[in-house]
């Protein structure tokens, strides 16, 4: 996967709590194979009217936030059914980091497996970031320093599991992380066979 070190840009203010994976990507849009076109269907029920035209009232369709790389969200973002396609859809829409107070457990794991950085911050800090508005306001999410930098320069620290942080920085999924230890695994296997040949 693509390594994640830092991303800067507008931050979409979507502060609603309990946004589930079906809101992020409707299940019918996941019936076709692969990730192609999922970005266009991200938040489809909100982004489009019944006639298929864009809903100008939906934040992701508005000029400063169209294609923005950061999403500011409310509590329990990504709750609901297990759906890796929700992460693919967000990334297809251009999002590389989601900042929320909490995440659905499976969604959180899927983020790390696919190169989307989930950042946990208190809701008060997220509201401060959202208050900077659109226009030229740019937020930076820096995984190397584990800081979110607001448009006014405020630096807000966040924590990431060290193993998952390393994986994102190096662009490695769980299998690639295990393969880094291939020599040690092979040595253990050979020793085990020598000590217990009956297995």
Q: What is the pLDDT along the chain (199 residues), one digit of tens a residue?
A: 889 999 999 999 999 999 999 999 998 888 877 788 899 999 999 999 999 999 999 999 998 899 999 999 999 999 998 889 999 999 999 999 999 999 999 999 999 999 999 999 999 999 999 998 766 789 999 999 999 999 999 999 999 999 999 999 998 766 666 666 667 777 777 777 888 887 6
* Cα separation, 108 vs 94, whole angstroms: 18
Domain boundaries along the sequence of the chain: 6-195
Kindly tell me the burial class for residue 58, based on how many C-beta atoms sit within 10 Å of its own C-beta (0-12, 13-18, 19 or more).
middle
pLDDT at residue 187, as a whole number: 75
Query: Which structure tokens are listed for 15?
Result: 């502060």
User: How many CB atoms are closer than 10 A to CB 97?
Assistant: 24
For 5, residues 6+ apart whose C-beta sits below 8 A from its C-beta are 142, 143, 144, 169
pLDDT at residue 178, as a whole number: 66
Query: Which structure tokens are listed for 11?
Result: 């931050």
For the 6-195 domain, the top CATH level (class) is: alpha beta
- Provide the whole-model pTM: 0.87
pLDDT at residue 134, as a whole number: 64
């Amino acid at each position: 996967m693509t390594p994640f070190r830092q991303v800067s840009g507008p931050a979409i203010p979507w502060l609603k709590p309990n946004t589930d994976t079906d809101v992020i990507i409707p299940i019918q849009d996941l019936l076709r194979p692969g990730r192609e076109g999922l970005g266009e269907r991200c938040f489809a029920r909100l982004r489009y009217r019944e006639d298929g035209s864009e809903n100008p009232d939906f934040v992701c369709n508005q000029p400063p936030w169209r294609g923005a790389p950061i999403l500011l969200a409310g509590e329990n973002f990504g709750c609901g059914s297990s759906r890796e396609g929700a992460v693919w859809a967000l990334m297809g829409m251009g999002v590389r980091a989601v900042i929320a107070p909490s995440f659905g457990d499976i969604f959180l794991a899927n983020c790390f497996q696919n190169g989307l950085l989930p950042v946990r911050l208190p809701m008060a800090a997220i509201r401060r970031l959202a208050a900077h508005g659109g226009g030229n306001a740019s937020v930076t999410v820096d995984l190397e320093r584990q800081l979110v930098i607001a448009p006014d320069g405020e630096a807000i620290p966040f924590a990431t599991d060290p193993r998952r942080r390393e994986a994102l920085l190096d662009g490695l999924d769980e299998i690639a992380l295990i393969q880094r230890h291939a020599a040690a695994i092979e040595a253990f296997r050979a020793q085990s066979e020598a000590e217990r040949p009956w297995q």
